[in-house]
Amino acid sequence: MSKLFLTTMLTLAAFFPVAVQAAPLKVAFGEVDLTPEIQAGHPVYLAGYGYNRRASGVHDPIMGRAVLLDDGEKRVAIVGVDLIGLQLPDVQRVRDNLPGVDFTIIASSHSHEGPDVIGIWGPNPLARGVNDDYVTLVVDRVSELVAGLEKKLTPATVSFGTAEDKTLLRDSRLPEVYDPTLRALRFQSPESGADLGMLVQWNSHPEAMGPKNKLLTGDFPATTVAELEKKYQCPVVYVSGALGGLLAPSRGQFHDAQGNELKEGDFAYCEAYGRAVAQLAENAIDTATPIHATPFRIAAKPISIPVENPLYRLARKLNVVKRPAYELTGDFESFGQQATRDYQPEEAGVKSEVSAVALGDLRIACIPGELYPELVYGEYQTPIEPNVDYPDAAREPSAASLMGEKKWMLFGLANDEVGYIIPKSQWDSKPPYAYGRDDRQYGEINSCGAQVAPIVMEALRRRVAELDEPASE
């Protein structure tokens, strides 16, 4: 080799550094029992529906299921919990316990058959339904679960698959719009091909057991997970997607051996629906194709959600919901003075979070509530329905348009629960009501307000854009 050639190559190398190849993916799966203890004199109030629904026993455990991912530089934890919606302050407590994890996502399934962890389903409208010691138990056990996975990381390949079935969904609010796509990740050993674990995202309220049930249960996802774990002999993490609308399990589709229709409120119906979702997941898993899942990029930022809902404001004032509020500044990414007993700003909001995570070729949108499926695909009604409150409101960007050509998943109730996220152009809380109705549709009563969707979707646009920015040196 000539001295001139060597000098030339060294000079070129200085100007054109060799690209660093992404490190192999490592994963670890685990689960933890989060079932509260039912004791005389210490009622467990079930979340969802109405007040004073006290747990009388346990049908199946309330679970937390997690996967820890490692790209050689960063670690991301994804945790699915059988809860109505773990709030951001409690998610942050878990994160504080996990200094070795760069970003932790806790996605609640929104089960209506688990314990109240927000407060608004107590013995009456004026009393808090949360056992704060139980929430601490959830924080501690989830923290211990994820921390323990750091020693179990093993190399993995990953495949991504989807499957659709609109017949498994029911939308109880006009216009009827669905996200009928189940999305799944399949993690396998690069050496043996053995399944290491699955992550499944589906878009239906876990409320198959209805308002009369008083047994703690994970609802239909418990059956979905059990069926998949039996088939693939590996752990499964379940998360919910866009549930607003109201997207719920289908009816009239399942029957017993005698041909009798199985209905909401029966465990036979709940399990039949869970098996149907599992079969849909199998279609996604069995047709999944390999993707590059490293390197990781994380874009997360707190946002201010204005609380306009008078019932939510009253719940906070009565200490039914214990959550800090901050004066609004006009910029949803900044926060004014925190509200106190002596300082109560006229316009206040809560601190929430919208985040986006890139796992190599895959994008994950983390939405802090129940997103309406119109906001997933941009399937807005045209023309606007007469009599809505904001007929001239701009259409929010859809999650699908923001993700572009990338493969993606959408986690609802991820890291927070701020209620329904309704397209502003569909907001309808004042008479005369849309669709010729004599009263308003269900939705607005469980939303912070009409400004939530524009804020959340703009925040998601910014977070996704940050994922595509050049990496800093």
What is the pLDDT of the chain when averaged over all its residues?
Answer: 94
**Model pLDDT for residues 29-43, shown as the tens digit of each residue:** 999 999 999 998 899
**Model pLDDT for residues 346-400, shown as the tens digit of each residue:** 999 999 999 999 999 999 999 999 999 999 999 999 999 999 999 999 999 999 9
Give CA–CA dist 347/402, Å, rounded: 30
Q: How many CA atoms lie within 13 A of 295 on its CB side?
A: 13
pLDDT at 469: 86
Tell me the pLDDT band of 16, cut-offs 50, 70 and 90: very low
Assigned token pair, 112: 């209506």
Q: Exposed (0-12), middle (13-18) or buried (19+): which is 100, by Cβ within 10 Å?
A: exposed
Give CA–CA dist 281/201, Å, rounded: 9
pLDDT at 40: 87
- Range list of H helices, 301-425: 310-317, 374-377, 399-403
Long-range pairs for 374-379: beta carbons < 8 A, 24 or more residues apart: 374/175, 374/177, 374/398, 374/423, 374/426, 375/242, 375/399, 375/421, 375/423, 375/453, 375/457, 376/179, 376/241, 376/242, 376/400, 376/410, 377/177, 377/179, 379/177
pLDDT at 18: 38
pLDDT at 22: 60
Give CA–CA dist 212/251, Å, rounded: 17
**Model pLDDT for residues 283-307, shown as the tens digit of each residue:** 999 999 999 999 999 999 999 999 9
**Model pLDDT for residues 310-336, shown as the tens digit of each residue:** 999 999 999 999 999 999 999 999 999
pLDDT at 454: 98
**Model pLDDT for residues 188-216, shown as the tens digit of each residue:** 999 999 999 999 999 999 999 999 999 99
**Model pLDDT for residues 224-283, shown as the tens digit of each residue:** 999 999 999 999 999 999 999 899 999 999 999 999 999 999 999 999 999 999 999 999
Helix (H) or strand (E) holding 15: helix 3-15
pLDDT at 406: 93
DSSP secondary structure letter of residue 342: S
**103-108/75-81 β-pairing:** parallel
Residue 5, pLDDT > 60, answer: no
Give CA–CA dist 104/78, Å, rounded: 6
CA angle 466, 470, 473 (to 5 degrees): 120
* Residue among 157, 247, 259 nearest 202 (CA): 247
Q: Output b/e per residue, 261-288; b: 16+ Cβ within 10 A.
A: ebebebbebbbbbbbbbbbbbbbbbeeb
Residue range 125-129: average pLDDT? 95
Q: Give yes or no for a contact between 351 and 300, defined as CB atoms under 8 angstroms apart.
A: no
pLDDT at 472: 61
DSSP SS3 for 188 = strand
Tell me the pLDDT band of 470, cut-offs 50, 70 and 90: confident
- Range list of H helices, 210-341: 220-232, 267-286, 310-317
pLDDT at 12: 42
pLDDT at 7: 45
Tell me the pLDDT band of 9, cut-offs 50, 70 and 90: very low
pLDDT at 17: 40
* Residue among 126, 129, 183, 133 nearest 158 (CA): 183
Give CA–CA dist 235/242, Å, rounded: 23
pLDDT at 451: 98
Give CA–CA dist 137/132, Å, rounded: 9
**Model pLDDT for residues 58-81, shown as the tens digit of each residue:** 999 999 999 999 999 999 999 999
Give CA–CA dist 343/425, Å, rounded: 33
Tell me the pLDDT band of 471, cut-offs 50, 70 and 90: confident
Residue 23, pLDDT > 80, answer: no
Give CA–CA dist 328/337, Å, rounded: 8
- Does this model's pTM top 0.85? My answer is yes
> How distant, in Å, are the alpha carbons of 87, 104, 307 from that of 326?
16, 24, 10
Question: Where are the chain's structural domains?
Answer: 26-291
